[in-house]
A and B are shown apart, each in its own frame.
Chain A
Amino acid sequence: MEPAVASSGPVVELDDAVAVLGRFPALAGVTMSVERGEIVLLRGPNGAGKTTLLRLCAGLLPLARGSGSVVGCDLSTQRDTIRSRVGLLGHSNGLYHDLTVRENVQFWGATVGATADEIQASLERMGLAARLSDVAVGRLSAGQKRRTALACLVARRAQLWLLDEPHAGLDAAGRDELDRTLHAAVAAGATVMVASHELERAGGLATRIVDVVGGQAGPPRSDHDGGSL
């Protein structure tokens, strides 16, 4: 088992980070810092670079210029280690629909050597340990699938949760459930970065807002609500 992230120091620290998609600089010199326990909302129009920023932090994109670290690992040289410590949840849930909720969580937990107790704790934390644990994922509602995907992140011991439009496709109850889940994750020591267009919903969830515009990130502009909530 790898060491836990240092309790002091930022979970994400980027300094003039540039990421290129093809020949296009999707991130054009981002400087930002995210502290442990924060829920940071990345706000911006389509194509602004929110998803690219999440993928960079997940270790999926190389740094073309600048420097950075995520969960204490260097973004230039330790991307594989970063991947095993963060959880990226996009529009898909990454679940196997023929397997049950428990089997999915067991599978993803086993990829990092999670114990049976940790799997059970993940299910319990997401409210999946009782009625739903033995139901095939293919039979779940969209919200329940999302909750299962988040339980997999917990089982994987993700220290940094990177969520791309996490509320998409969920009904009101599912959204409330998701928000509670994220607060619980933060209470348990995780840090969350959320990219969302649903500002009212995600803004209420976030402890801080970062505007992403034209591949650059910064504090909220004056035409939006204040940044520190």
Chain B
Amino acid sequence: MAGGATSVWATARLVAAKDLRVERRSRVVVNQVLPFAALVMVLFAFALDADAVLERTAPGLVWLGTIFSLLIVVQRSFAIETADGALDALRVAGVSPPGIFLGKSFALAVQLFVLEVLLVLLAIVLYESELDAAGAVLLVTTLVPATTGLAFVGTLYGGLAAGTRGRETLLPLLLFPVVAPVLIGATRATEAALGAGGAATDEGWPWVGMLVIFAALFGVGGTLAFGPLVEE
């Protein structure tokens, strides 16, 4: 009866499946985070009560809503690990930290993607944004690296803050400055996709490239750094 550690990818699949199963049971994202994000969009509509302003700012509001919601989803993702010492237990059990990082990032990305789709739909309905076929291709292509990057950053900093006191207030201080490039890049690309402010679709692709680089950097960096961070 000897234990044998599983591979990084097997661990990642295991952790992602576990996190998504926990969400399916608890329905915190569905019952709390999605309504929160929708409320933020409605409140923006009340605050900026002018169609032209809303149509122009819709892409930025979508991504601001995403980043506010990211904070809640990340805190929830690590709350389930720290509530009964599971994160410590994973560390004690010698479970691959890169596998944990990738698994939690994947589960986070899935939840964020659903959230972003909702927010874009709300922007189209509430803010009267328009989306043509070329814009839809750009938008979907934007969502993938932006979501992946946010998930990597969220998991990295969520793990860092998980063991600290005052993590609820520490996490936004750590997270918001780091995700600023995603906010800027994803907003510009989404502006191009929705044609906000007269932006052309072609203008969005360079920003997608930046989002891909951001996601790759944090994917590699997070995979390498997560173990030492959690160990500390």
Contact = CB atoms under 8 A, between A and B. Distances in A.
Interface stretch (A26-34, A96-104, A167-175, A202-210): A96-104
A17 to B, nearest CB: 19
Contact of A83 (B6, B10, B22, B92): B92
B26 A98 contact: yes
A84 B84 contact: no
Contact of B89 (A94, A97, A159, A189): A94
B2 to A, nearest CB: 4
A110 B85 contact: no
A60 B92 contact: yes
Interface in A47-68: 58-60
Contact of B93 (A5, A96, A111): A111
B84 A136 contact: no
Contacts of A112: 3-6
B43 interface: no
A159 B14 CA distance: 23
Contacts of B165: none
A83 B93 contact: yes
Given A83-B94, A84-B93, A111-B95, A95 B84 contact: yes
Contacts of A159: 1-3
Given A84-B93, A111-B95, A157 B5 contact: no
B168 interface: no
Interface in A77-103: 80-85, 87-88, 90-99, 103
| Chain A interface bracket (under 10, 10 to 19, 20 to 34, 35 or more) | 35 or more
A99 B22 CA distance: 6
A96 B18 contact: yes
A198 B153 CA distance: 45
A112 B7 CA distance: 10
Contact of B4 (A91, A103, A108, A113): A113
B83 interface: yes
A108 B84 CA distance: 14
Interface size class of B (residues with CB under 8 A): 20 to 34
B80 interface: yes
Contact of A95 (B6, B10, B86, B94): B86
B92 A5 contact: no
A157 B2 contact: yes
A84 B86 contact: no
Contacts of B85: 90-94
A62 to B, nearest CB: 11
A40 interface: no
B57 interface: no
Contact of A96 (B10, B22, B94, B95): B22
Contact of B2 (A2, A83, A87): A2
A22 interface: no
A153 B224 CA distance: 28
A4 interface: yes
Nearest to B83: A97
5 contacts: A87-B93, A91-B85, A94-B90, A96-B80, A156-B3
Interface of B: 1-6, 10-11, 14, 18, 21-22, 25-26, 80, 83-86, 88-95
Given A88-B92, A99-B18, 18 more contacts: A2-B4, A82-B94, A84-B4, A93-B84, A94-B88, A94-B89, A94-B90, A96-B18, A96-B22, A98-B22, A98-B80, A108-B93, A112-B5, A113-B6, A156-B93, A157-B1, A158-B3, A159-B2
Closest 7 CB pairs of A and B: A92-B85, A94-B89, A83-B94, A112-B3, A84-B94, A2-B4, A157-B1
